A = this chain, B = another copy of it.
Amino acid sequence: MSKPRAYSVKAYSTASAPSPLAAAAIPRREPTDRDVQIEILFCGVCHSDLHFARNEWHFTQYPAVPGHEIVGRVTKVGPKVTKFKPGDIAGVGCMVDADPSCPHCRKNLEQFSPTMVGTYGGMDKHLGLPTYGGYSEGIVVDEHFVLRVPENLNLAAVAPLLCAGITTYSPMRHWKVGPGKKVGIVGLGGLGHMGVKFARAFGAHVVVFTTSESKKADALRLGAHEVVVSRNAGEMAKHAGTFDFILDCVSADHDINAYLGMLAVDGNITLVGAPEKPLPVAAFSLIMGRKSLSGSLIGGIAETQEMLDFCGKHNITSDIEMIRMNQINEAYERMLKSDVKYRFVIDMASLKNS
C-alpha cells in the first residue's frame, strides 16, 4: 500500500482541553482505491464530542476535531468503489476503518473490533496521522464505512441517526423489541427521544421515565403511550414488574435497582448512557425474576444501514436544532444543561464564514 498524498481542509478544531473550538486546517488523504470523498453538509453534535474535545476520556491528542454524525455529498470515489458515485448523498458515523478479516467484523460487529478506527481520535493508517471528525468541510472514508442515506428524509435531521439513532436501534433489535412488548425509555434526551421513536415504530407499548413533569407532553408527541415521572413513587409502583425491556439513556448517577424492579421476569435493561461512577447493583434485583443488565455500543455497519433504511421507510429522523459552526462552543454549554430538543446539528455550509 503506497502512502497517499494529503490535502488540506478547513475544520473546527481545539488545541487543548480548555480551549474553545475554532477554525483551523487539517489534513485529509487523497482518496485511495476504495475511498469515498465526501463534502460534509451536516454534522450532529454528540455528547461524546464534548468529552473528546475536553479530554474527559484521557486519550485525546490535540489538535482535535470532533463530529461523528456526518451527512454529505460524494465528490469523488476511488477506482474500486462500487457502492457510491459523485453526487450521491452519504453518511458516516462513529467508525471509519477496521480489518474486515477480524472475527468481529466477519460477524458485522465492527464496533467491537480491536482494529476499529474511530472517526475521530483514531489513527489513519494511510497517512499515519490521527483521524479528524466531521466538524470539517470534507472527509475521506473507506466505502465499507460509508452509509447510503434515504433521499426522502430531511438530511440535517438524518445526521444524528449515525450515532444516536444506531445506538438506540441496535439494542432494541438485539433484545427483540416488538409488538406485545412493554418498553421503557429512561431519560428523554438525544438518545432517549430516538429510543421512543424506534420503540413505537417497532410496535411496542412505550413508556417514558423522566425526572421532569415538563417533558410529559413532548414524550407523548414523540410517540410514548405513557409517561412516568420517576420521582413519583406511586406512579413507579404501578408499573413495577411489568417491563420486558428498558433502554437506559441516562449518563448521570441514578438508581438502577429501581429500574430493575420495573422489569418483568426475564426482562432486560440495556445501558447506552455511561454514568461516570459504577452503578451499585443488588444481586437480588437480578436473581428474582432472572433479569439482566447489559450494555450496547452503537451498532455494526450492516445494522446501521438497516436502521437508515428503516428510517427511510418509516419517515423517522431526529428532532434537531440547527446551529452555525461558530455557535458550537455555546451549543456545548447548552448541551451540558440539556437545553436542546433533542440534538444540535451544524449546518456545515456555515463553516466557510466561521
Contacts and interface: CB of A to CB of B under 8 A. Distances in A.
Interface of A: 104, 109, 112, 171, 174, 256-257, 265, 268, 271-275, 277-297
A287 B282 contact: no
Contact of A297 (B256, B272, B290): B290
B292 A297 contact: no
A345 to B, nearest CB: 25
Q: Is the interface of A mostly helix, strand, loop or mixed?
A: mixed
B288 A297 contact: yes
B292 A293 contact: yes
Contacts of A284: 274, 295
Contact of A271 (B273, B277, B279, B287): B287
A290 B284 CA distance: 22
B283 A280 contact: no
A278 B288 contact: no
A279 B287 CA distance: 13
B257 A290 contact: no
Contacts of A112: 265, 288-290
B275 A278 contact: no
Q: Which of A112, A174, A294 has the most CB of B within 10 A?
A: A294
Contacts of A279: 280-283
Given A265-B109, A265-B112, A283 B290 contact: no
Give the oligomeric copy count: 2
B290 A291 contact: no
A293 B293 contact: yes
A291 B171 CA distance: 11
B272 A287 contact: yes
A256 B281 CA distance: 10
Contacts of A277: 280
B290 A292 contact: no
* A-B CB proximity, top 3 nearest: A286-B295, A287-B295, A278-B280
A95 to B, nearest CB: 14
A292 to B, nearest CB: 4
Given A174-B290, A289-B295, A292-B294, 8 more contacts: A104-B265, A257-B278, A268-B292, A271-B283, A274-B287, A280-B280, A290-B295, A293-B293
Contact of A294 (B171, B278, B286, B296): B286
Contact of A293 (B104, B109, B174, B286): B286
A276 to B, nearest CB: 9
A290 B292 CA distance: 12
A213 B275 CA distance: 36
Nearest to A288: B297
A28 B280 CA distance: 43
Given A292-B292, A292-B294, A283 B273 contact: yes
Contacts of A297: 287-290
Q: Which of A272, A288, A290, A293 has the most CB of B within 10 A?
A: A290
Q: Which of A271, A279, A286, A296 has the most CB of B within 10 A?
A: A286
B295 A288 contact: yes
Contacts of A281: 256, 278-281, 293
Given A112-B265, A265-B104, A290-B174, A295 B278 contact: no
